[in-house]
Amino acid sequence: MKALLMDRRRDFDMKQPLPPQSEARVQDLELNVLFNAMANGDEFLLAVATRAVLCSIGDLDAIRYRQAILQDCLAHPEVVRAIYQIPIEARENKKKRWMSTLGHTPSTILYGSVQLMEMYVELLLKLRTIADHNAATFSSEGFTTFFAMIQRELDDDYFGVVKEHLKLLKFRNGVLISAELGRGNEGVNYVLRKPAGKARNWWQDLLNPQTPTYTYTIPDRDENGARALGDLKDRGLNLVANAVAQSADHIESFFQMLRTELAFYIGCLNLHDHLTQLGAPTCFPQPAPAHERTHHYTGLYDVCLALTMGKQIVGNDGCADGKTLIMITGANQGGKSTFLRSIGLAQIMMQCGMFTPATSFSANVVSGVFTHYRRKEDATMQSGKLDEELSRMSEIADALTPNALMLFNESFAATNEREGAEVARQIVSALLERQIKVFFVTHQFELARTFYDQHLATAHFLRSERQADGQRTFRLLEGAPQSTSYGADLYHKVFG
């Protein structure tokens, strides 16, 4: 059995390698805030959320598959959480009650495995009951297929047969084993036999006499004889013990994968609950093919900032369809970096099948999200700041592929403006030639003006809004770059 709730073709792989530059992406976009909100203090949820969000997918069909499942989860959170508790209960029950019964001999393995199977069967029955009561209310392909599989493979006949076998495997009337005599009268070909039926009465014995049998009773204090008899029993039970243990392992692996795949959606439910309490909007984005250049949104906000501040924050509206370069300039402390984070977060959330922090959002899928943010000065003085920025950019360039998304935040500003602008211009131009979409936040007027003066049809220019009295609205509007960042506003605000 397979859950297939993260992908219709395969199980979710928790051991898959993280994409290149994941550590920088987590740092620059403050993704740990998102992961912690999804986990709600649960270490397992944290691990799954981290892996699922960072290992985003680029296939439109796979994204929509997860979106539909998540929509079902949001519509029926109690049912989904009830299903999620079943594999947790299985794990806790095994840890508390049955770990001590699992030994290394066939007899102890069989005993412990039968105990586990009985516990697992009860939980599978609980899962089947949930499927019977709720299958009709779920509409996504993933849950429809999952519930149909549960009802098909865990029908009444299955439970009847399994319970009967488990009852027989307890061997309440002893173990019936056949063997042959081999060389030197050693026993060979040990076979476990099905126990005899009900005891025969005298009338049956009279009409159908049985083959004569010989019995030998081991004295109570004969330890060697008891040990030898136990060895004979283990030889007969070896195959069936392994079979039952493998069956228990199979069900356990199903429960573990069900827990793993549902953990992603439980994390999404937790995040949605946090945002709902803040009054922050969410929407299911519309992904577009990678070769298109789509980017339009309303009410887009930085979800990590909202979670950190514990309140709803200002969102942005915009349309950059058909654009490959989005240059962002404007007043200091005007919301440029926050907007850049919101772009990266929304893209990543969309590409792992989540909702996005906006009232509407649409973008083309990308081959990867990369960030190049300003870093603190190198405390070891092993290199200059510009050298460090160029070194990081070189590492990113090695991992970049066409149709990626590149986010720059005040990059290459460690030297004078003319040199920094030229370095940035050449890098951005090379990226655009490689069909990479670029968002660039900068205070370098020289850089912004260079691209603005080219009148590129694929370039889009945004500027943080500043009111006449110097107040920041934290909104970004379309506008040409200006030669001032209004640093005087901050000076007067700080010093009066």
Which residues touch 334 (CB under 8 Å, ≥6 apart)?
464, 465, 466, 472, 474, 476
Q: How sure is the predictor about 196, in pLDDT bands with cuts at 50, 70 and 90?
A: low
Give the pLDDT of residue 73: 97
**Tokens of residue 482, six digits:** 């200006």
**Residue 366 contacts residue 404 (beta carbons within 8 Å):** yes
CA dist., res. 299 & res. 431, Å (int): 29
What does the H/E/C string look like for 14-66?
CCCCCCCCHHHHHHHHCHHHHHHHHHCCCHHHHHHHHHHHHCCCCCHHHHHHH
The tens digit of pLDDT for each residue in 111-162 reads 888 888 889 999 999 999 999 999 999 999 999 999 999 999 999 998 999 8
Q: Average pLDDT of 279-287?
A: 97
5 vs 418, more confident: 5
Q: How confident is the model at residue 19 (pLDDT cuts 50, 70, 90)?
A: very high
CATH number at residue 418: 3.40.50.300
Give 282-308 as a DSSP string: -B--EEE-TTS--EEEEEE--HHHHHH
- Determine the average pLDDT of the residues in 225-246: 72
Residues 117 and 254 in one domain: yes
Q: Are residues 335 and 446 in the same domain?
A: yes
* 322 domain-assigned: yes
Residues 263 and 330 in one domain: no
Please count the structural domains in the chain.
2
Mean pLDDT along residues 291-314: 95
Does residue 160 sit within a domain? yes
Q: What is the pLDDT of residue 94?
A: 86
Q: What is the pLDDT of residues 431-459, one digit of tens each?
A: 999 999 999 999 888 999 999 999 999 99
Q: Which residue has the tokens 């993704």?
A: 31
What is the rounded average pLDDT for all residues in the chain?
87
Write a three-state SS string for 408-456: EECCCCCCCHHHHHHHHHHHHHHHHHCCCEEEEECCCHHHHHHHHHCCC
| 354 and 490 within one domain | yes
Instruction: Show the domain range for 136.
Output: 57-170+248-277
